[in-house]
Amino acid sequence: MDHDLSAAEAAETLSMRHNARASVAAASAHYAIWSVGMATASSLYVFALGLLPADRVQPIVATTVAFVAWVALPTVWLIPTVKVSPLGFSKQFGLATGAWGAVFGIAVAFGLAFELGPWFLWPMAAAVAVPLLVGAHLQLRDADRG
């Protein structure tokens, strides 16, 4: 450095860092919105499976098609809008979606294979939403700190 850097200049430079943090946090809110959309869709799907007669395939297929279409919408929206991944995001998002996949898989596989009905599927409908909602909450909390 050729000149004496004043405290004010150093503080001004450091303020750019805070602005950057805020911008990254704001841009990463998309993940939280996607997570809430997925949590709602999968929860309603599992709840709907509990309403359907387990011995009739057609309503189950129709509900599954509707679910897949609903899930495709937020996912197709998310991919092109992802411009930045905040620090620590991959681990947090991976854990949330991994836990969601496990609970969702158990709910659907056991619910349909063993025709377990509402007593199993309705509590599972609530459980399915938890990992993604927790993930979204953590994401938004981190964004707030930005």
Residues near other proteins (CB under 8 A) are: 1, 4-7, 10-11, 13-14, 16-17, 19-21, 23-25, 27, 79-80, 83-90, 146
Residue 35 has which token pair? 């997570």
Cβ(102)–Cβ(39) below 8 Å? no
By CB neighbour count within 10 A (0-12 exposed, 13-18 middle, 19+ buried), where does 28 fall?
buried
Minimum Å gap between C-beta 35 and other proteins is 17
**Looking at residue 69, what DSSP letter applies?**
H
Q: How large is the C-alpha radius of gyration of the chain?
A: 21
Minimum Å gap between C-beta 9 and other proteins is 8
Cα 104 to Cα 125: distance, rounded to the nearest angstrom: 8
Minimum Å gap between C-beta 121 and other proteins is 37
User: CB-wise, 82 or 109, nearer to other proteins?
Assistant: 82
Minimum Å gap between C-beta 130 and other proteins is 25
User: CB-wise, 10 or 65, nearer to other proteins?
Assistant: 10
User: CB-wise, 25 or 133, nearer to other proteins?
Assistant: 25
User: CB-wise, 13 or 53, nearer to other proteins?
Assistant: 13
User: CB-wise, 46 or 143, nearer to other proteins?
Assistant: 143
Contacts of 104 (CB under 8 A, 6+ apart): 42, 46, 128
| Helices 118-145 and 29-51, axial angle in degrees (round to 10) | 170
Minimum Å gap between C-beta 89 and other proteins is 6
